[in-house]
Amino acid sequence: MPDVIPAPANQRRSSAELILLVLFSAVALLVHLLTNGRYGYFRDELYYIACGQHLAVGYVDQPPLSILLLRLSEILFGNSLFAIRLLPALAAASTVAITGLIARELGGRAWAIALACAGSLCALFSLAVGNFFSMNAFEPLFWMGCIYLLVR
C-alpha cells in the first residue's frame, strides 16, 4: 500500500492565500454591484455613451480604449446603468486581487495579503471610481498590473 505524502507547506499556504484573494475580490465586487445604481447616470457617462456611438482611434479628451470598453459593454450587456458600471466594478475587484498578489510576491503570508487586500478594498478612490464609468476606473488596475509585473 503506497504511503500518503502530505502536500508541501508552500502548497497549503498557496491555497489559503488564493482563498483570501478570491474572498476580498468577491467582497469588492459585491460592494460595487450593490451600490453602483443608486444615483442615476453621471454626466461623463452620457458623454462616453455618445462617443461610443461614433468610435474613433483618437479623441481630444479621453483615451479610445475606455470608450471601446464601454461600447463592448453596451453590446454585450445593454445600456442599463448596471451594465455600464459592471466593468468599473470588475476593474476595482481585480485591483484588490492584484494588490494581494503583489503582497504575496513580496513574501507576505496570509495576514499581509489580507491587510493589503483590505487596504485596497477600503481605499476611497477605489470605492468612488468603481461606482461609475470613467477612464479613471481602469488606471489603478493598469498600474497595479505594472507593479505586479515589476516585482514578479
- How do residues 6-65 score in pLDDT, each as one tens digit? 555 555 567 889 999 999 999 999 999 999 888 889 889 999 999 999 988 888 888 889
| Percent over 90 (pLDDT), the chain | 68
pTM of the model: 0.87
Residues 6+ apart with CB under 8 A from 49: 70, 74, 79, 84
∠ CA 119-129-42, rounded to 5°: 155
Query: Residue 62: its pLDDT value, please?
Result: 85
Mean pLDDT computed over every residue of the chain: 90
Query: Residue 12: its pLDDT value, please?
Result: 53
- CA-to-CA distance for 70 and 51, rounded, in angstroms? 9
Domain map of the chain by residue range?
A: 9-151
pLDDT at residue 96 above 60? yes
